[in-house]
Structure 1
């Protein structure tokens, strides 16, 4: 897979959706596309199989996703036509990233020792969202290795306020004192 190629197709799809005022619909459709591709690895196997002709792939995509908006279906068809079917897998992620950036939204993960309540999760989203200047959509992941505290990862930035990290810092300070 070539990420830069997938990003180009995602950018083209995003630009068209923005121009046509269909960002919400395209976002929902690429989420569905992502779910289908994850749930049926056989589909990706077909898309990347050189023995399957472009016309067969195009028909498969029309049959599978023909009820989606024309710009989504046409993007998929152009990708197949240009021998970029392998990049279809990454398309939903990059489209969602572009839409989220456009809307000032960032997705991330908050890791904790136990499941956070909806209220606690919202509080974490608000606090870290203010730090980043974005609206956060965090997914809570429970890690039994975390003794206490939280680790928040948004993009390439990690805020680690776990007890383990605090103890490690304290140990370093004591050793360097």
Structure 2
């Protein structure tokens, strides 16, 4: 995976720099999201993997599937990827682009996983505490995992804060067994 990330990084950086110069960071993130979804689709991958297809046919098929959502510069980006046999890297390029965007706009994507649905007041309290701790704005997504028993598991990039009852019980069991 690290090797693919290394290969994808210059493409993500180039797309980011171009989008920033054009003032279209949001538009580019949407285009890359769509292109990554198309590239990740099993049917499309099977079509694009046909050895008899040349790069122009691949780009044409890509543009046809994406429709008007992919502008001329987006099509040129896809063409460059196709020419260099890098279309499968689009999901990684999207991820790296999003990370660059988060650094630029100083926000962090945070996932809150709880045993039960969180009400708005609890979510807002957690968001406020996370903003203070992380020093950036946060984009929150929530999900439910009943196996947590209670509490909340917070994932913010490489940072994981386990405030779940299951996590506390696991730590207690480790202490008792050591």
Normalized against structure 1, the TM-score is what? 0.85
Structure (1/2) with the larger helix percentage: 2
Q: How does 1:120-131 map to 2 (within 5 A)?
A: 120-131=122-133
Tell me if the contact between 1:57 and 1:80 (Cα under 8 Å) persists in the aligned partners: yes
Q: What CA RMSD, in Å, does the superposition of the two structures yield over aligned residues?
A: 2.2
Tell me if the contact between 1:48 and 1:85 (Cα under 8 Å) persists in the aligned partners: no
Residues 1:121 and 1:33: Cα distance change in structure 2 (over 3 Å): farther
> How big is each residue's C-alpha offset from its partner over 1:143-177, in whole Å with a ceiling of 9 and x where there is no partner?
1111111110111110011122223334455666x
Aligned to 1:60: 61
Aligned to 1:168: 170
Segments of 5+ residues of structure 1 without an aligned counterpart are: none
Tell me if the contact between 2:55 and 2:82 (Cα under 8 Å) persists in the aligned partners: yes
Tell me if the contact between 2:32 and 2:90 (Cα under 8 Å) persists in the aligned partners: no
Alpha-carbon distance between aligned partners in 2 of 1:120 and 1:44, rounded to the nearest angstrom: 42
Aligned to 1:135: 137
Give the length in aligned residue pairs: 175
Alpha-carbon distance between aligned partners in 2 of 1:155 and 1:125, rounded to the nearest angstrom: 15
